[in-house]
A and B are shown apart, each in its own frame.
Chain A
Amino acid sequence: MKKTPLNSELQENIQHIKKKLGESTDVVIREIRIGKEGTFKVGIFYIDGLSDTASLQNFVIETLMIDISISQIENEESPNLNLMKALKDFAMTVGEIKDVANFEDLFTSLLSGDVILLVDGYSEGLIIGNKRWVERGVTEPQSQSVVRGPREGFSENIRINTALIRRKIKDPSLWMESKEIGRLSKTNVTIMYVNGVVDDKIVKELHSRLDRIDIDGILESGDIEEFIQDSQYSPFPTVYNTERPDTVAAALLEGRIAILVDGTPFVLIVPALFVQFFQSSEDYYQRAIMASLIRLLRFFAFGISLLAPALYIAAITFQQEIIPPPLLISLAAQREGVPFPAFIEAVIMEITFEILREAGLRMPRVIGTAMSIVGAFVIGTAAVEAGIISAAMVIVVSITAISSFVSPTYDIAIAGRILRFLFMGIAASFGLYGIMVALIALILHLTSLSSFGVPYMAPLAPYSASGQKDTFIRLPIWKLLSRPKYISKNSVRQKYTAPTSKDKKGAGV
């Protein structure tokens, strides 16, 4: 694209900018005169709200109009081009400064919050880095909260976010590459990785996928995610996202790549594997035994949230034999008078629950509490008392709902939520046999997925013995000697020998 050069006439430049921006009211244009006799007309442009007005006055306007030793400018022999250099070298008491010669760059900088300085008679201007806007600071992440672990979370500002990661990995091998994506939004997208640990092929692949994106605007990392993920129609996510800098740092150290998008606290991580969605950063801060048990619990809870209603439907409509007689009679007693088949009953309850959950999420927090009371008491209890729904079904749906909240990541819980209905339908028409067939199909699907060339089910399929150390259970940190082999080729992570009994004796005395 051909760039429009700046005009040397200040007034024409001002007219052009005004016209281009449609005379938007937040554009501030200030014309001042500098020099002994006000020889030079200078135009200062900035967007109100994106620039720091106080420092603009203190360090730009004040210097130009008052502090600047006019004689210095006067003394310059040839005033023409060197005025810009002189201003840059002597007058600007700010850190970041760049030249600009065309309108395209000018607009990008102006609309990013920089201050533009144009001088009459010069077809060149200065971009003065002076961004400052009101933003949310570093606060505790709303998603993925932990009991033990850092409390800081990413914010909407990409610079704060990169800084948060830099603070955790202070090594020159932590590399960053930035791109501007979005024709209109011109969003800064930065990829971060640890050079030497990361698989270069994955970096290359990621670059090519990012470069393919041609869209007017990127507003959240979700927009990027949909463009770069491997499985477009699978319910399972192949890109991980997190609000936690420690999670990102850990992923970078494992050889993964982080994608930071300006304007969102959610950072993407690729490649993302199935088991990763069941891991929480807290797993590594807690003691190994507890962490392992909790991980097992999460997989179990995922199983419940996926299968519980389906198994219940299959058991009470097809395979009554597998229910112990006293339980069968108790269930049969509850179903006396229930007008719907078990499947319809389950669907009604599940949909009711989904409505309640969605309503609770979007609602103001204060009303949210009232919602849950209405949901739990009125719908649950009343439906059972009215004999429309059996009590056992309410129990099954409740345990399913609670289990789906156990997942440390929202995305995998969503996959469970979607597939649950599928399984329920299959259970209602084929019983346990159908559930088994569907499970096999699900496993086939999962093993067919991959994330940036890494098999999605690694280290389970393909099986990796050393990968099992940190999959369903987590061994003590000092036993995790290597990085995941399927992600990083450079797999030596630490050289450590376990504490010997001799060490312990020494420490004891």
Chain B
Amino acid sequence: MNKRILFLTILCLILTGCWDRNELNELAITMALGIDKVDDEYVVSAQTVIPGEVSSMKGGPGESPVTLFQAKGATVNDAIRNLAKLSPRTGYFGHLQIVVIGETLAQEGISNTLDYLSRYFEIRSDFYLLIAKETEAGKILNVQTVLERIPANTIFNILHTSQHRMSNTSAVTLSKLIVDLEREGKEGVITGIYIMGDEESGSSKQNVESITPTTQLKMDGIAVFKEDKLVGWLTDEEGIAYNIITNQVKNTLGTLSCPEGGKVTINVDKLTSKLKNTIVDGKPEIKIDIQIFGNIGEIDCEIDVTKKETVKMLEKTYEEQVEKNVNETIQVVQDDFQSDIFGFGAAIHQSNPKEWKKIKSQWGTEFSEIKTTVKVKVNIRHFGTVNNPIQENIKD
């Protein structure tokens, strides 16, 4: 009996395992995927790292640090399998940093694409999604970038930093987007990426050899989705408002006009917002409470910030400005896109499930008519390392 068990154990050792074994130098490490749709066919662009070129061990740069494989297929999966016709190594997507989706495909709907990305076991769900604004995803991945030698890392880091520093973009991972899309009363958004300069010359090494690259990538706007289709774009200002309403602001900036001309900049370092809903006359209403803590970043006018009234005045001005921005953004989204990207419906669903059941079916139209009240409270806490503007001292 024992011998038989031993035999079976040894069989297990010999016959299993190894099937998913891959040596590192047999893998094509793909850091970015671009997905487009051209003439009813999916086009997949895989930005694959050439490790020897990226590693710091080698001296001067030789080849390009990445290469782009492009293949077509009836489905995304089919297109990715077709990459094997071009690439000498197996594609490895475990370290995927970004997935760029072409604007045309986004307008047609991205649910097929998302299904593949979330179904395939090797792909994690923590990469960022982007929409190639006014271009194809393949072209975005065809641009060489500076500082980070791998363009996928460049894009990843720009998106990450801009969300944290300025809050005018939205760093959306696959898992977050899928949650937004599947949740009742919430729609998704994806940040757009845009090529500045000539699309073709960005691919060559010359692009990163001069101090100012001729072609650069830039985060630009936030794409608004209704269900899985792109319906429009938010501007930078609207993007900030979106992040404020959804309580995703870490740092941002506000520029105010002084009473006698000139500008004051407020650095926001903490912002919280809460959505509350009430039923007034049988109709739901949304209240947005926004609390902002900030510092003075720059003063370019004649004011005396050591006086309490001045600070009060600045706070009030900023409050009004944020309120206006938020209201206008809600207006735009309600009127132009009719897509509940702020999650008003989800808020109602959460706090008032009975009411939600009643309005759920016609939420698309209800959302456009819902009344919102915005309340903003600004606290300016620090003035930086000087009090009053140095311009005053220079005059003395």
Contact = CB atoms under 8 A, between A and B. Distances in A.
B94 A336 contact: no
A353 interface: no
A385 B158 CA distance: 37
A417 B342 CA distance: 59
B94 A320 contact: yes
Interface in A317-371: 317-318, 320-321, 325, 328-338, 341-342
A316 interface: yes
B259 interface: no
B92 A320 contact: yes
Given A321-B95, A325-B95, A332 B17 contact: no
A375 interface: no
Contacts of B25: 332, 335-338
Interface stretch (B50-58, B197-205, B317-325): B50-58
A333 B52 contact: yes
B57 A429 contact: no
Interface in A5-60: none
B315 to A, nearest CB: 43
Given A328-B29, A329-B49, A335 B13 contact: no
A428 B18 CA distance: 8
B30 to A, nearest CB: 11
B27 interface: yes
A341 B18 CA distance: 12
Contacts of B55: 329-330, 333-334
Interface in A405-445: 428-431, 434
Contact of A332 (B51, B56, B94, B124): B51
A342 to B, nearest CB: 6
B307 interface: no
B51 A320 contact: no
A334 B57 contact: yes
A321 B94 contact: yes
A186 B124 CA distance: 70
A320 B21 contact: no
Contact of B29 (A329, A337, A430): A329
Contact of B97 (A316, A318, A325): A325
Interface residues of B, number: 28
Contacts of A333: 51-52, 54-55, 57-58
A316 B27 CA distance: 11
A505 B29 CA distance: 67
Contacts of A321: 94-95, 124
Interface in B51-103: 51-52, 54-58, 92, 94-95, 97
A320 B95 contact: yes
A341 B23 contact: yes
Contacts of A428: 21
B231 to A, nearest CB: 34
Main secondary structure of the interface of A (DSSP, over half): helix
Nearest to A332: B51
Nearest to B28: A332
Nearest to A331: B24
Nearest to B20: A318
Given A325-B97, A328-B95, A329-B29, A320 B24 contact: yes
Nearest to B150: A329
A145 to B, nearest CB: 40
Contacts of B18: 429
Main secondary structure of the interface of B (DSSP, over half): loop
Nearest to B93: A321
A336 B51 contact: yes
A338 B52 CA distance: 12
A337 B23 CA distance: 12
B22 interface: yes
Nearest to A330: B55
Contacts of A334: 55, 57
A379 to B, nearest CB: 20
Contacts of B51: 329-330, 332-333, 335-336
B27 A320 contact: yes
Contacts of B57: 333-334
Contact of A434 (B17, B22, B27): B17
A271 to B, nearest CB: 29
A320 B89 CA distance: 15
B31 interface: yes
B145 to A, nearest CB: 15
A318 B21 contact: yes
Given A321-B124, A329-B49, A329-B54, A335 B17 contact: no
Contacts of B52: 333, 336
Contacts of A317: 21-24
A85 to B, nearest CB: 69
B246 interface: no
B291 interface: no
Interface in B157-189: none
A333 B150 CA distance: 14
B251 interface: no
B153 interface: yes
Nearest to A314: B21
Contacts of B31: 325
A393 B335 CA distance: 61
A337 B24 CA distance: 11
Interface in A97-125: none
Contacts of B17: 429-431, 434
Given A331-B24, A332-B25, A338-B25, 19 more contacts: A316-B24, A317-B21, A318-B20, A320-B22, A320-B24, A321-B124, A328-B24, A328-B95, A329-B51, A329-B54, A329-B150, A332-B24, A333-B55, A335-B24, A336-B51, A341-B23, A342-B23, A430-B16, A431-B20
Interface of B: 13, 16-18, 20-25, 27, 29, 31, 49, 51-52, 54-58, 92, 94-95, 97, 124, 150, 153
Interface of A: 316-318, 320-321, 325, 328-338, 341-342, 428-431, 434
13 contacts: A317-B24, A320-B92, A320-B95, A325-B29, A329-B55, A330-B51, A331-B24, A332-B29, A335-B23, A335-B24, A336-B51, A338-B25, A342-B24
5 nearest interchain CB pairs?
Answer: A333-B55, A332-B51, A333-B51, A429-B17, A321-B94
